[in-house]
């Protein structure tokens, strides 16, 4: 068999795209071996393009069982040996091994960043039997044909070892922290109670939970203070305009009442008019964090969701690599070429052609840089398949942001007229765009609206049409949402662009937090408290950030992986000794927290019959059957109970039935969508639902 070049890619979609771009006829042959797809392409020579499935290798414990800590010895191994859920990856590793036998050239073409470089490295080293030292590296920021062809012709002569070392360091350090700290928690709880519960914390997870707990506490301790404000409307040139009283907050009610008394029904004069013209510069290009923030505020997508959509757009060659922290757009990406290509879409034609008329295109840029990739930009390719609405939104946002960064500053004007009335002052504010500049490109996503004022002149008389006192309370600090939490992590320098969104998800998965406006659960509170009390360094932000900086230095080749690992172990050791010493007390506290959390999950709501008890999910001692009963049953005060379905899992929903106001539970059974159940036998909705159900049954039967 003729020898070939083996090209390693990160995922099947990327493999297909790379094979299609490199094949001289654009039609690579797809082969499937034991469920693993790969592609045969021919160019100057035969190419075999094989996808990984993300990480196929991971850090595992070198020897010994799972029931102790500390553990400091580890090795890299195929994921299928470590994780039950990764069984399918065995076939992939085997296919790589087999294909490497007849290859005489090895090229890593995974995403160009820490994770991608590490994925390629592990496959070359372990599956291909030590080819990491001879392999070449394709470096690219988009999956467009032109860029892929170019980097294939001119690859880097060897792997990017700085990125790989940084990746190894991160995975190894995170493993050391994750496995030891989580075991300390889980084992101490189990030794105390004899019961098993998965409790986890990690190097970044702990400090992140800490931010949330701090905020939660500030909200809990917040005492709203009353204040008063004035709402008023004036009549100017026959039209009613809202005016703003000079003091936004008035500390005493009597004072506010006096303002109303003094001014009601009176007329005053426009004392002065201030007009201010100012420029607003174009926005800066998106890095991943910027895109996530904007998508959350415009569309309500969580950062993790946005990252997923952006990844799909990248695989469809519509945008450049999204996991970047750069806010720069180098000229090498060819601004004109991209704009010309985007102009083929009628919706963008007018906008792109106005930019292309310019002699010189200079983007506004932000400060942040990324050694591997530029900021997120559209490649200019148009969709080859129908995009989902969400993909369309994100793509359009990226395209418009890209155009906007080349725009001219917008010129705006603000106006403030002061109405003097018996010693009181009211302001009229207007806002107007004089020249749209970059805003033309970004129009659908601009949130501030213009407020046009009637033409007013100094000395003009205006009468108050309406004035009233408003009673208000100061509000507590806002809850974090996934987007603002991600920003906070970024500001504090913990986690990376690739991991932050997943860490937030882990906190949800562990039941430490819930809801979009993030609320810390009792369990989350307790875990953070226990860690804070018994080992504050585990959740120290400063400590986490320092380690983060060290790992960045590995990437910049000013620090060695070995040193960082030694340091990590040196720091971890005393923490673990401390935890060990306190194992008993911690175990008790953790066990109670878990018990409380499990109880909380079972509470459904207040008992509608006795009013003082709580309805909880119970199991009959005789039959083992599940039902809902009142806690007052145990002291003989209330016998309220309701049957529950016996299959699947039942969970409290913490929301109420729209028909009767009773609490709802969620039932999940295998192979069915979760459904909401109102267990009130007299619920008015029951009848409706029955009818609907019968209709559906009929329909299903007739199909």
- Binding residues (CB under 5 A) for Zn ion: these are 607, 609-610, 613, 630, 632, 638, 640, 657, 659-660, 678, 680, 683
435 vs 280, 409, 637, CA distance in Å?
Answer: 10, 8, 73
Q: Which residues contact 394 (CB under 8 A, 6 or more apart)?
A: 291, 295, 301, 306, 309, 310, 313
User: How far, in Å, CA of 464 to CA of 452, rounded?
Assistant: 19
Main-chain phi, psi angles of 53, to 5 degrees: -130, 60
Q: Report the residue number, 162 or 683, with the smaller CB distance to Zn ion.
A: 683
How many C-beta neighbours within 10 Å does residue 583 have?
17
| Cis ω for the linkage preceding 312 (within 30 of 0) | no
Angle at 414 (CA atoms; ends 408, 415), nearest 5 degrees: 155
Question: Which has the closest alpha carbon to 184: 567, 545, 585, 600?
Answer: 585
d(CA 417, CA 108) in angstroms, rounded, equals 65
Yes or no: say if 208 and 485 are a contact pair by the CB < 8 Å rule.
yes
Which of the following is catalytic: 321, 335, 377, 442?
321
* Closer residue to Zn ion (CB): 489 or 617: 617
Query: 320 with 374: CB under 8 angstroms?
Result: yes
The 3-class SS string of 562-584 reads: HHHHHHHHHHHHHHHHHHHHCHH
Hey, how many other C-beta atoms are within 10 angstroms of the C-beta on 474? Answer: 11
Structure tokens at 382: 């148009």
Residue labelled with tokens 């400590």 = 543
Cβ at position 626, least distance to Zn ion in Å: 18
- Least separation in angstroms between residue 621's CB and Zn ion is 19
**DSSP 8-state secondary structure symbol assigned to residue 194:** S
Three-state SS sequence of 480-503 = CCHHHHHHHHHHHCCCCCCCHHHH
Closest approach of Cβ 460 to Zn ion, in Å?
A: 60
Distance CA 447, CA 53 (A): 40
Q: How far is the CB of 452 from Zn ion (least distance, A)?
A: 49
Concerning whether 321 is annotated as a catalytic residue, the answer is yes
Cβ nearer to Zn ion, comparing 434 with 658:
658
Q: Supply the minimum distance, in Å, between the C-beta of residue 661 and Zn ion.
A: 7
Q: CB 451 → Zn ion: shortest distance, Å?
A: 46
Residue 409 or 608 having the CB closest to Zn ion = 608
- Smallest distance, Zn ion to C-beta of residue 614, A: 8
Q: Cβ(6)–Cβ(99) under 8 Å? A: yes
Q: What is the 3-state secondary structure (H, E, C) of 238-260?
A: CEEEEEEECCCCECCHHHHHHHH
Q: Are 113 and 370 in contact (CB under 8 A)?
A: no
Minimal distance, residue 602 CB to Zn ion, in Å: 15
For helices 561-581 and 583-602, the axis angle rounded to 10 degrees is 80
Closer by beta carbon to Zn ion, 355 or else 607: 607
Q: Which residues are catalytic?
A: 321
């Amino acid at each position: 068999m003729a020898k070939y070049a083996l090209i390693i890619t990160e995922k099947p979609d990327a493999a297909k795209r790379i094979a299609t771009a490199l094949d001289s006829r654009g039609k690579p042959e797809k082969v499937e071996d034991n469920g693993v797809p790969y592609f045969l392409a021919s160019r100057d020579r035969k190419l075999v393009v094989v996808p990984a499935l993300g990480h196929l290798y991971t850090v595992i414990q070198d020897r010994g069982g799972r029931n102790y800590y500390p553990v400091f010895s580890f090795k890299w191994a195929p994921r299928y040996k470590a994780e039950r859920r990764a069984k399918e990856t065995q076939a992939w590793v085997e296919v790589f091994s087999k294909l490497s036998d007849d290859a005489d050239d090895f090229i890593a073409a995974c995403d160009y960043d820490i994770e991608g470089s590490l994925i390629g490295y592990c496959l070359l080293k372990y599956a291909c039997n030590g080819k990491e030292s001879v392999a070449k590296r394709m470096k690219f920021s988009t999956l467009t044909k032109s860029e892929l062809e170019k980097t294939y012709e001119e690859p880097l002569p060897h792997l990017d070892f700085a990125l790989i070392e940084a990746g190894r360091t991160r995975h190894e350090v995170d493993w050391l922290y994750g496995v030891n700290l989580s075991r300390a928690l889980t084992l101490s709880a189990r030794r105390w109670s004899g019961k098993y519960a998965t409790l986890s914390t990690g190097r970044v997870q702990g400090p992140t939970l800490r931010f949330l707990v701090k905020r939660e506490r500030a909200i809990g301790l917040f005492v709203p203070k009353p204040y008063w404000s004035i709402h008023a409307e004036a009549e100017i040139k026959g039209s009613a305009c809202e005016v703003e009283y000079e003091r936004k907050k008035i500390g005493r009610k009597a004072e506010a009442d006096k303002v109303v008394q003094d001014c009601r029904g009176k007329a005053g004069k426009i004392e002065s008019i201030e007009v201010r013209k100012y420029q607003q510069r174009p926005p800066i290009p998106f890095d991943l964090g910027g895109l996530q923030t904007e998508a959350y505020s415009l569309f309500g997508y969580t950062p993790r969701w946005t990252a997923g959509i952006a990844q799909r757009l990248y695989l469809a060659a519509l945008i450049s690599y999204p996991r970047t922290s750069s806010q720069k757009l180098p000229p090498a990406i060819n601004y004109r070429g991209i704009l010309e290509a985007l102009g083929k879409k009628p919706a963008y034609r007018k906008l792109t052609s106005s930019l292309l008329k310019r002699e010189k295109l200079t983007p506004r840029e932000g400060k942040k840089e990324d050694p591997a990739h530029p900021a997120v930009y559209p490649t200019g390719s148009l969709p080859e398949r129908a995009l989902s609405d969400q993909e369309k939104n994100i793509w359009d946002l990226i395209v418009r942001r890209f155009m906007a960064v080349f725009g001219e500053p917008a010129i705006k004007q603000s106006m403030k007229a002061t109405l003097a009335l018996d010693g009181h002052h009211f302001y009229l504010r207007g806002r107007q765009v004089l020249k749209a500049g970059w805003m033309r490109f970004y129009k659908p996503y601009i949130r501030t609206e213009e407020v046009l004022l009637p033409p007013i002149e100094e000395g003009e008389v205006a009468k108050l049409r309406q004035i009233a006192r408003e009673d208000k309370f100061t509000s507590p600090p806002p809850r974090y949402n996934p987007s603002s939490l991600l920003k906070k992590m970024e500001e504090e320098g913990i986690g990376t662009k690739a991991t932050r969104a997943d860490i937030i998800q882990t906190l949800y998965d562990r039941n430490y937090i819930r809801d979009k406006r993030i609320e810390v659960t009792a369990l989350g509170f307790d875990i953070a408290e226990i860690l804070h009390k018994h080992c504050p360094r585990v959740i120290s932000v400063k400590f986490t950030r320092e380690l983060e900086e060290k790992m960045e230095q590995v990437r910049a080749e000013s620090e060695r992986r070995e040193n960082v690992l030694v340091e990590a172990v040196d720091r971890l050791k005393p923490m673990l000794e401390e935890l060990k010493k306190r194992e008993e007390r911690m175990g008790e506290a953790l066990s109670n927290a878990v018990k409380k959390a499990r109880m909380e999950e079972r509470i459904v709501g207040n008992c509608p019959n006795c009013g003082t008890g709580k309805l909880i999910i119970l199991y009959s001692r005789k039959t083992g059957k599940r039902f809902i009963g009142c806690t007052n049953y145990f002291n003989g005060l209330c016998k309220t109970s309701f049957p529950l379905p016996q299959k699947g899992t039942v969970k409290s929903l913490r929301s109420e039935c729209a028909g009767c106001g009773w609490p709802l539970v969620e039932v999940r059974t295998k192979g069915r969508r979760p459904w909401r159940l109102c267990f009130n036998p007299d619920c008015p909705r029951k009848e409706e639902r029955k009818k609907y159900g019968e209709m559906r049954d009929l329909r299903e039967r007739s199909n």
